[in-house]
Amino acid sequence: MKRQMKPLTALVPALALTAGPALAHGGAHVHPHGAEVWLALALVAVVVLGCVSLMRGRK
Write out pLDDT tens, residues 6-31.
667 777 777 777 766 666 666 666 66
The per-residue pLDDT for 37 is 81
pTM (whole model) above 0.85 = no
Contact 6, 53 (CB under 8 A): no
